[in-house]
A and B are shown apart, each in its own frame.
Chain A
Amino acid sequence: MTYNLLAARGLTVGYGATPVIHDLDFDVPQGRFTAIVGPNGCGKSTLVKSLARVLATEPGMVTLDGKHVQAYRPRRLAQRVALLPQHPTVPEGVTVRGLVARGRYPYHGALRQWSPQDTPAIDQALNDTGLTELADMPVAALSGGQRQRAWLAMVLAQQTDYVLLDEPTSFLDIAHQVDVLRLCRNISNQGRTVVAVLHDLNQAARYADDLVVMRDGAIVAHGRSDTTLTSSLVSDVFGLDSMIGVDPCSGTPMVVPVAD
Chain B
Amino acid sequence: MAALTVLLGATCILSLFLGSRPNGVADVVDVLTGDGEPHLANVVASRIPRTVLGAIVGAALAVSGTLIQGITRNPLGEPGILGIGVGASASVVTGTALFGALSATGTMGFAMLGAIIAVAVVLVLGGRSSARGIVPLILAGAVVTAVLYAYINAMVLTLPQVFDSYRFWMVGSLAGVELSRLGQVLVPLVIGFCLALLIARGMNALALGEETAISLGFRVGATRLIGIIAAALLAAVATAIAGPISFIGLAVPHIIFALMGEDFRWRVPAALLGGALALVAADVLARVIIRPQELMVGIVTAFIGAPFLLMAVRRGAVTT
Hey, which bits of chain A sit against chain B, CB under 8 A? 49, 52-54, 73-79, 81-85, 87-94, 98-99, 102-103, 105-106, 108, 110-111, 113, 158
Q: Which 7 A-B pairs have the closest CB atoms?
A: A78-B217, A85-B211, A75-B217, A91-B207, A89-B209, A83-B215, A93-B262
A52-B214, A88-B209 known, 13 other contacts, Cβ within 8 Å: A54-B211, A54-B215, A74-B217, A78-B215, A84-B212, A89-B209, A91-B208, A93-B262, A94-B262, A98-B262, A105-B204, A105-B205, A158-B216
Chain B, range 174-210, C-beta contacts under 8 Å to A: 198, 201, 204-205, 207-209
Checking A77, A79, A84, A102 against B204 with a beta-carbon cut-off of 8 angstroms, the contacting residue is A102
Inter-chain contact A74/B201, CB cutoff 8 Å: no
**Closest chain A CB from B197 CB (angstroms):** 9
Binary contact track B212-246/A, C-beta < 8 Å → 1, others 0: 10111111000000000000000000000000000
Q: Determine the distance from Cα of A158 to Cα of B265 in the docked complex, in whole angstroms.
A: 19
Checking A90, A93, A105 against B257 with a beta-carbon cut-off of 8 angstroms, the contacting residue is A93
B10 at the interface (CB under 8 A from A): no
Given contacts A91-B207, A110-B198, contact A85 B263 (CB under 8 A): no
Secondary structure at the B interface, as helix, strand, loop or mixed, is: loop
Q: Determine the distance from Cα of A106 to Cα of B213 in the docked complex, in whole angstroms.
A: 10
11 CB-based A-B contacts, threshold 8 Å: A49-B211, A52-B214, A74-B217, A83-B214, A84-B212, A88-B212, A93-B261, A102-B204, A102-B216, A105-B205, A105-B216
B317 at the interface (CB under 8 A from A): yes
**Please, which residue of chain B has its CB at the minimum distance from the CB of A164?**
B215
Checking A88, A92, A103, A111 against B262 with a beta-carbon cut-off of 8 angstroms, the contacting residue is A92
Instruction: Report which residue of A53, A54, A76, A99 has the largest number of chain B beta carbons within 10 angstroms of its beta carbon.
Output: A54
Chain A residues with Cβ below 8 Å from B207 are 89, 91, 94
Inter-chain contact B219/A105, CB cutoff 8 Å: no
**Please, which residue of chain A has its CB at the minimum distance from the CB of B73?**
A89
Secondary structure at the A interface, as helix, strand, loop or mixed, is: loop
Q: Determine the distance from Cα of A81 to Cα of B215 in the docked complex, in whole angstroms.
A: 8
Chain A residues with Cβ below 8 Å from B205 are 102, 105
Chain A residues with Cβ below 8 Å from B208 are 88-91, 99, 102
Chain A residues with Cβ below 8 Å from B103 are none
Checking B198, B217, B261, B263 against A105 with a beta-carbon cut-off of 8 angstroms, the contacting residue is B217
- How many residues on B have C-beta within 8 angstroms of the other chain's C-beta atoms? 22
Q: Determine the distance from Cα of A205 to Cα of B317 in the docked complex, in whole angstroms.
A: 44
Chain B residues with Cβ below 8 Å from A111 are 198
Chain A residues with Cβ below 8 Å from B198 are 110-111
Inter-chain contact B319/A92, CB cutoff 8 Å: yes
Chain B, range 58-110, C-beta contacts under 8 Å to A: none
Chain A residues with Cβ below 8 Å from B216 are 78, 102-103, 105-106, 158
Given contacts A78-B215, A88-B209, A93-B317, contact A105 B201 (CB under 8 A): yes
**Closest chain B CB from A152 CB (angstroms):** 13
Given contacts A93-B261, A113-B201, contact A85 B217 (CB under 8 A): no
**Closest chain A CB from B16 CB (angstroms):** 36
Q: Determine the distance from Cα of A52 to Cα of B257 in the docked complex, in whole angstroms.
A: 32
**Closest chain B CB from A22 CB (angstroms):** 22
**Please, which residue of chain A has its CB at the minimum distance from the CB of B205?**
A105
Q: Determine the distance from Cα of A77 to Cα of B217 in the docked complex, in whole angstroms.
A: 7
Given contacts A89-B209, A105-B205, contact A98 B214 (CB under 8 A): no
Instruction: Report which residue of B198, B207, B211, B217 has the largest number of chain A beta carbons within 10 angstroms of its beta carbon.
Output: B217
Chain B residues with Cβ below 8 Å from A89 are 207-209, 212
Chain A residues with Cβ below 8 Å from B214 are 52-54, 74, 83
Chain A residues with Cβ below 8 Å from B201 are 105, 108, 110, 113
Chain B residues with Cβ below 8 Å from A77 are 217
**Closest chain A CB from B318 CB (angstroms):** 9
**Closest chain B CB from A186 CB (angstroms):** 21
Given contacts A54-B215, A105-B201, contact A85 B257 (CB under 8 A): no
